[in-house]
Chains A and B, each alone.
Chain A
Amino acid sequence: MRIQMLVYSAGLALCFLGTTAARSEDGWAKVIPPPSVDTISAAKLAKVQPGTSTKTEVQALLGAPWRILQFNDCGMSMPGQADESWDYRGRNAKGTYRVHIEFDDSDVARLVAKIPDRAAGTKGTRAKTAPPDMKVAMKM
């Protein structure tokens, strides 16, 4: 019983410390409580292939996305930007992350990236993209 109490107390303290650190160190303070995240199978994610995987195939592998975005406006396709992107949430030992998949106008994945939620900076997170010859075929 005492061990259980200790574990609970330690857990609570860690949560509190984590929150405090986030509030004092950067602008993440206004983040609403982290949403629930799913476990994303690395093996399934590896099967999502830029240049070949379709929306149907991605959904069959990973399920419905947490959020879909379409950033274009004005009827213009912004150069180098996705027609539609799907976001999934995940968690691993390093923290929470998002899987970001962009589709071309043929509904084929053109980019897959696994981006830690706290990865902001000037280096970015390397994304997996279709080979150059396929990009041409996809009218990028």
Chain B
Amino acid sequence: MFHIHVPRLAKGFGCSFFLVLGIASQAPAQGPAAAYPPYGSAIPVITNTEHRSGAVGEDTQKMPPPNGPNEESIWNMKVEGFNDNQARPIYQPLIVNQNGREIMYNGNLSGTAMNPLTGVSESNGTSIIDVTNVKRPKFLFHIPGPDPINGSFAAAGAQMVRVCPGSSMPNAAANGIAGKFFLLRAFGNAGANESHQIWDVTEPSAPKFLTTIISGLSNTHKSWWECDTGIAYLVAGSKSDGWQQSGSTQHVYIYDLSNPAKPQFIRQFGLPGQQPTASVATQQPCLNAPSDTCFEGTTNPPGGVHGPISMGTVVNRVYMPYGVGSSGVIQIDDRMKLINGCKATGPGSNPNASPNCQNSPTQADLLWPQVSWVTMNPENGGHSSMPVFNVPIPEAQSNFGDGTPESKSLLFVSSEGTANNCFGQAPHDAWILDIANEQTPWPMATLNVPQFPGNFCGKGARFGAHAVTEQIYPPYYGKIISVSWFNAGVRIWDIRDPKNPKPLAYFIQAPTSNTAASCSTINGVTNCFNATMNDYVEYDDRGFIYAADRAGTGVTILSLTGEARNAILPQSEQ
């Protein structure tokens, strides 16, 4: 593990452009994605390939309307492959290069379906699919999820997956994990045994249970695992520890999983106002009534965290979205202070940490790592917060300031649409925040999919933003961004001129006989629809794009074509 202490990235990341240039060249050459978070801590360098006038004035209305609701719709993309995922509804796909084999791990929503490999109906858990040949994905194994409790399936299932190679961990040889691969997954949402688990998936067709990191949880959700340090940010609530949240009831448990068989607890963490000792009955907003017991955001206590994203040891920042679909807060934290803030000595330590900092921190303990926070419009929540560093601003490549070409670090934030047929909710979008000055994140642009054309509020299922892609594939990094948009499918924008993001490609999967019905009651009348819901869109390290369906229709493997392909090429090749 190497630590490069970046003094402070508050100076607009301007200097870090050159810093990462150097670091990228030091990146370990274990595979195309191995250098970047979560596998490593390097950040790809983005070169400007946009005309100096950027996308201003370009026709953004030429996006073709989608086909009818029974049909697939596709623009600037090509379908390369498909797997039905045993008709299980997918929450999160993750594609990992395991010694040249491309393995897809799908975290599934709760329920049950037949596993044709075993002939048994199994609780939805983790699907493992070999996608090395995208034309012929091969379903290898299904690790069952939580059993029903008193005859009912609780929410969540085993939605979340992360996979790390043991070889990238500190002390891999001493811990006997070199050459192995490990899967971290959430397990359950209610009942006695809900937990976070680790499995040995070195041989993905024969995964072996390794250990339970922590059990007795509630509402497990989306975790992050730094593969080069072993630090994991696990998301869950607890039945007994007193943490307080509104809506989605999760906070963060930080562990050192560098030796996956022997998890080491570090601390719990959340937003000020969520700590067990918060005075929920009397506390006021920190914004206009700062005190030792106030709450950040617009709801008391603040909504739970959805999924932290750490950018590793070099950037030294963790991005945390709270609230999911309403009353959102986006928090930027100093990674070292977050990990070591309950210690009295060492990098990031806090000499004034309270005695109970690890499990029942004070507000001061929670504020120690906080760099800044942004309160969202209460209609929207923080679902995803994915940074992209040093994106060149086309119009500012000359003449501004001292003439140095300007780049901006950006944070892509999404809220989650939660209502079928839009009924009862505000529109949920995604946004680009300028985080060049971390203390004052500032909105730069909105990523929006209009309900027309397509009549997305009338075709059934959810319509609205969900998740921003988290995998770093360098040719796409800083050039395009993908957001899952439920019944409006995979949506991709050209962000080479981030002040003027341009819709670039989409894919809407057709419903099939596996598509789960979505029903809604509007003005007293209940109707059910067949509509797919793209839940997550992710990349592999070859550039294939995976569109996972929440409604049980499977996962479609895509590539970019036409103008979308051009957007990722150097200017000379466009």
Residues of A within 8 A of B (CB): 26-32, 34-35, 55, 64, 66-85, 87, 89, 96, 98, 100, 102-103, 105, 107, 111, 113, 115, 117-127, 129, 132
Contacts and interface: CB of A to CB of B under 8 A. Distances in A.
Contact of A75 (B68, B237, B423): B237
Given A27-B509, A69-B516, A119 B530 contact: yes
B517 A121 contact: no
Interface of B: 67-73, 79, 82, 84, 87, 89, 91, 109-114, 121, 151-157, 159, 189, 218-219, 221, 237, 247-250, 304, 306, 324-325, 418-420, 423-425, 455, 458-460, 509-514, 516-521, 524-531, 550, 552, 556
A71 B249 CA distance: 17
Per DSSP, chain B at the interface is: loop
B153 A70 contact: yes
Contact of B552 (A69, A73, A103, A122): A69
Nearest to B87: A67
Nearest to B84: A32
B555 to A, nearest CB: 11
Nearest to A72: B155
B418 A124 contact: no
B513 A74 contact: no
A121 B531 CA distance: 9
Nearest to A30: B82
A73 B151 contact: no
Contacts of B156: 72-75
A71 to B, nearest CB: 6
A120 B526 contact: no
Contacts of A125: 517, 527-529
A75 B219 contact: yes
A70 B517 contact: no
Contacts of B423: 80
Nearest to B113: A67
Contact of B151 (A28, A29, A55, A117): A55
12 contacts: A30-B512, A74-B156, A75-B155, A75-B189, A75-B249, A79-B419, A83-B152, A100-B516, A100-B528, A102-B519, A111-B526, A124-B529
Contacts of B324: 74, 76
A31 B154 contact: no
Given A27-B67, A29-B72, A79-B419, 19 more contacts: A26-B67, A27-B71, A27-B509, A67-B87, A67-B516, A68-B112, A73-B109, A74-B304, A79-B424, A80-B521, A84-B111, A87-B517, A96-B513, A98-B513, A100-B517, A113-B526, A121-B70, A124-B460, A127-B528
Given A74-B156, A129-B521, A117 B530 contact: yes
Contact of B68 (A69, A84, A121): A121
Interface core residue of A71, A79, A85, A125 (most chain B CB under 10 Å): A71
A67 B109 CA distance: 12
B517 A98 contact: yes
Given A68-B153, A73-B109, A127 B527 contact: yes
Nearest to A55: B151
Contacts of A85: 516-517
Contacts of B73: 27
A90 to B, nearest CB: 11
- Which of B70, B82, B219, B528 has the largest count of A CB atoms less than 10 A from its CB? B528
Contacts of B218: 75
B513 A35 contact: yes
Contacts of B512: 28, 30-31, 117
A121 B518 CA distance: 12
A122 B219 CA distance: 34
B69 A121 contact: yes
A96 B153 CA distance: 27
B109 A69 contact: yes
Nearest to B155: A72
B393 to A, nearest CB: 35
A73 B110 CA distance: 9
Contact of A82 (B121, B247, B424, B519): B519
A70 to B, nearest CB: 4
A74 B535 CA distance: 14
Contacts of B68: 26, 120-121
B530 A120 contact: yes
A70 B247 CA distance: 18
B153 A84 contact: yes
B511 A120 contact: yes
A127 B82 contact: no
Contacts of B424: 79-80
